[in-house]
Amino acid sequence: MFKTGQAWADDAYESWFEGMQTTYIDDSDVGFCPPFDDLKGYRECLPNDPHGYVESFTSTEPGHLVVTLSPDSRWQGGEYDTDGISGLEFVAGNVGPRLQQDGFPFLKVTAKISGTDKSSTYELFPSKSGR
């Protein structure tokens, strides 16, 4: 049922990015960015949002999407990367529900920073152990 591989991850990216365009350009209640066709354009609108620094969407396990972010001082330590919620939690916690909203089948989304071991995972069905 759950897929893996780069084609699946590319489809997830396309679904997520179209959602970003809808939210930040087209939505009459929220949209405030000028039209953008890539993440560079989004970054110009919101330079401190870690979503603008996505390097890749990949997958090596069925249903598990890995979102890799480039390290950048414009988002790290900014308003979306605080002691209360890290930028990685923010990204994983937004990409997952966005894909759910679009009906995209997945089990979990892990956001990580390129070249580090820092990561955060959003699970569609979180385990109850440790709670």
Measured CA to CA in angstroms, residue 115 lies from 55, 69, 101, 112 at distances of 12, 10, 30, 9
Q: Are 24 and 45 in contact (CB under 8 A)?
A: yes
pLDDT, mean of residues 1-9: 85
The percentage of the chain sitting over the pLDDT mark of 70, rounded to a whole number, equals 92
Other CB atoms within a 10 A radius of the CB of residue 95 amount to: 27
CA–CA dist 49, 96 (Å, integer) = 16
The per-residue pLDDT of the chain, averaged, comes to: 89
pLDDT of 125 reads 81
pLDDT of 68 reads 98
- Does position 38 have pLDDT exceeding 90, yes or no? yes
Confidence at 130, pLDDT banded by 50, 70, 90: very low
